[in-house]
């Protein structure tokens, strides 16, 4: 609600990117659907679900830094134009560019491997370099993975993971982080932080488990 309010107030300064959890099956599994129904009602949840389908799956800062939630692709040759052409107003499919943008992860070994998640792919520094060079980009910024320090670079330094939830699920003891970019040089300025006390609601309190 707060993020959507910022978007209304500052439409040219606030940009939200869709992640793999902005999908009905994961909303049910991990508790977002249950929490919204508990605190509001089904109509409110349906509005969230509709809103999620309109979120962009990528943003490009000053034509040099690409922001996605997950990562890159199972094949070379994907262009920014291909991402822009995706029909994103739907539930994410189980394969293809949209799916991989939301689900893929970097690895430090060259090449590609099947993802341990069962969806998307793992991609190496060589894959990242080819994609970024082909699209005249400087850096890929993504999230999707807990990192102990709140952030981590893929080997080669051209993919930066940032994770803003400290002490994930109240058990990972990780820091959170966020990034600032100055338009003049587009160098990432990373700030890390620790978790603070929150309401006494256990993790996954509203989850329905795997009953999807």
Q: What is the pLDDT of residues 118-177, one digit of tens each?
A: 999 999 999 999 999 999 999 999 999 999 999 999 999 999 999 999 999 999 999 999
Is the separation of the CB atoms in 129 and 72 below 8 Å?
no
- Residue 21 known to be catalytic: yes
Classify residue 156 as exposed, middle or buried by CB count within 10 Å of its CB (0-12, 13-18, 19+).
middle
Q: Break the chain into its structural domains and give their ranges.
A: 2-19+55-146
Calpha distance 178→73 (Å, rounded): 25
Calpha distance 202→44 (Å, rounded): 23
Multiple choice CATH, 2-19+55-146, 3.30.470.20, 3.30.420.40, 3.40.50.720, 3.60.21.10: 3.60.21.10
> What confidence score (pLDDT) does residue 212 get?
47
Catalytic option among 21, 38, 59, 69: 21
Quickly count: other Cβ atoms within 10 Å of residue 80's Cβ: 16
Calpha distance 119→138 (Å, rounded): 26
Which residues touch 118 (CB under 8 Å, ≥6 apart)?
none
Beta bridge partners of 152: 161
Calpha distance 116→121 (Å, rounded): 8
Phi and psi at 96, nearest 5°, equal 95, 180
> What confidence score (pLDDT) does residue 211 get?
58
Q: Return the SS3 of 93.
A: coil
Q: Which residues of the chain have pLDDT under 70?
A: 210-212
């Amino acid at each position: 609600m707060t993020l959507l309010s910022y978007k209304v107030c500052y439409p040219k300064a606030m940009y939200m990117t869709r992640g793999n959890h902005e999908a009905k099956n994961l909303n049910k599994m991990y508790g977002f659907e249950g929490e919204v129904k508990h605190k509001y009602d089904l109509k409110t949840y349906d509005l969230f679900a509709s809103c999620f389908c309109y979120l962009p799956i990528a943003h490009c800062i000053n034509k040099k830094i690409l922001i996605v939630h997950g990562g890159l692709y199972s094949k070379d040759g994907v262009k920014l134009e291909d991402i822009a052409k995706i029909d994103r107003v739907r539930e994410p499919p189980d394969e293809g560019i949209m799916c991989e943008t939301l689900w893929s992860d970097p690895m430090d070994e060259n090449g590609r491997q099947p993802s341990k998640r069962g969806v998307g792919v793992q991609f190496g520094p060589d894959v990242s370099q080819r994609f970024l060079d082909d699209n005249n980009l400087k850096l890929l910024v993504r999230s999707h993975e807990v990192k102990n320090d709140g952030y981590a670079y893929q080997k080669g330094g051209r993919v930066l993971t940032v994770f803003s939830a400290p002490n994930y699920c109240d058990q990972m003891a990780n820091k959170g982080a966020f990034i600032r970019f100055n338009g003049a040089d587009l160098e990432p300025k990373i700030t890390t932080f620790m978790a603070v006390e929150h309401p006494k609601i256990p993790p996954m309190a509203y989850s329905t488990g795997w009953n999807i």
